[in-house]
């Protein structure tokens, strides 16, 4: 019941945003493909969320869509895996691994979300927003967005939370304290230094669990946002076009990534 009411409140907020959409928000083409097995409610919510996120980036950060975006809502793991093979040219075993360990993926403007296998309206929205943030990271950095593992995933989670909070689902303090509470309950939390590379981040997901690893990354990003504001995140991703990750980080946040990683504690 709680999720449903949240969902309806959010949906109306997103539709309101959508109705007042600025025309320049859609400078690029968007293709949406929906599997037959996706429930109508989930599809309607997904469509509204996609438009809501476009509008959010345009209005709040002045960032429009500059590259075409192809989105697939899959209804189950089998179709999700097939889409990964078809759209990314992945082998069967690669697609199986990705489909088993993720609920959404984004590569160079192609975004696939396993909507049918995500429990709950709220989680569906979160995953969709997370993957759309990856799309904007890729667009702004010309696909050089993955240089720092924890910045890549932490920004996607922190901004997904911020978007949902802005349209009225939860407040930012709710997210932050929820992530901190979850981390306090577990035995071990990865150091931020160990999440520096994407490989490091992936191996931490195996050791500590994806939830703990992503929450640690998101809390690090929120710390940066509290210092420099959300626009600094895009200063960083844009700078990656022409700079090393270290220089891009310094330009955006005025400190060295290595120093920040050493000093950061999630709570």
Helical axes 198-208 vs 210-228, angle rounded to 10°: 130
State in angstroms the smallest separation of the CB of 130 from Zn ion: 5
Identify residues 154-183 at the interface with Zn ion (CB under 5 A): 156
How far is Cα 209 from Cα 220, in angstroms, rounded to an integer? 17
Question: Residue 36 gets which letter from DSSP?
Answer: T
The residue (of 46 and 154) whose beta carbon lies closer to Zn ion is 154
The residue (of 156 and 159) whose beta carbon lies closer to Zn ion is 156
First to last CA, the chain: 32
Interaction pattern, residues 130-159, with Zn ion; x per rule: CB under 5 A: -----------------------x--x---
Identify residues 198-257 at the interface with Zn ion (CB under 5 A): none
Size of the site for Zn ion (CB under 5 A): 2
| Bridge partner list, 108 | none
Rg, the chain, Cα only: 18
State in angstroms the smallest separation of the CB of 134 from Zn ion: 5
The residue (of 130 and 176) whose beta carbon lies closer to Zn ion is 130
How far is Cα 160 from Cα 126, in angstroms, rounded to an integer? 6
Q: Which residue is nearest to Zn ion (CB)?
A: 156
State in angstroms the smallest separation of the CB of 94 from Zn ion: 17
The residue (of 30 and 202) whose beta carbon lies closer to Zn ion is 202
State in angstroms the smallest separation of the CB of 24 from Zn ion: 27
How far is Cα 81 from Cα 92, in angstroms, rounded to an integer? 8
Residues 6+ apart with CB under 8 A from 141: 237, 238, 240, 241
The residue (of 200 and 250) whose beta carbon lies closer to Zn ion is 200
Q: What share of the chain is helix, strand, coil (3-state, %, to 5)?
A: 65, 5, 25
State in angstroms the smallest separation of the CB of 102 from Zn ion: 8
Interaction pattern, residues 1-20, with Zn ion; x per rule: CB under 5 A: --------------------
Using CB under 5 A, list all residues that contact Zn ion.
153, 156
């Amino acid at each position: 019941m709680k999720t449903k009411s949240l969902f309806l409140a959010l949906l109306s907020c997103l539709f309101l945003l959508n109705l007042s959409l600025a025309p320049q928000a859609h400078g690029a083409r968007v293709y949406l493909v929906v599997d037959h097995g996706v429930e109508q409610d989930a599809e309607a919510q997904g469509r509204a969320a996609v438009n809501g996120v476009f509008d959010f980036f345009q209005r709040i950060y002045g960032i429009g869509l500059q590259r075409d975006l192809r989105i697939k809502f899959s209804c189950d793991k089998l179709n999700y895996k097939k889409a990964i093979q078809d759209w990314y040219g992945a082998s069967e075993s690669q697609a199986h691994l990705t489909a088993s360990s993720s609920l959404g993926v984004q590569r160079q403007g192609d975004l696939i979300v396993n909507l049918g296998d995500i429990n709950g309206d709220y989680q569906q929205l979160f995953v969709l927003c997370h993957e759309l943030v990856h799309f904007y990271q890729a667009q702004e950095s010309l696909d050089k967005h993955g240089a720092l593992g924890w910045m890549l995933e932490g920004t996607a989670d922190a901004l997904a939370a911020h978007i949902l909070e802005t349209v009225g689902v939860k407040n930012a303090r709710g997210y932050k304290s929820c992530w901190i509470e979850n981390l306090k309950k577990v035995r071990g939390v990865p150091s931020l230094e160990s999440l520096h590379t994407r490989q490091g981040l992936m191996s931490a997901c195996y050791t500590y669990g994806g939830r703990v690893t992503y929450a640690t990354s998101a809390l690090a990003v929120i710390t940066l946002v509290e210092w420099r504001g959300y626009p600094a995140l895009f200063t960083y991703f844009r700078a990656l076009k022409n700079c090393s990750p270290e220089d891009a980080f310094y330009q955006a946040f005025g400190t060295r990534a290595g120093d920040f990683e050493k000093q950061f504690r999630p709570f």
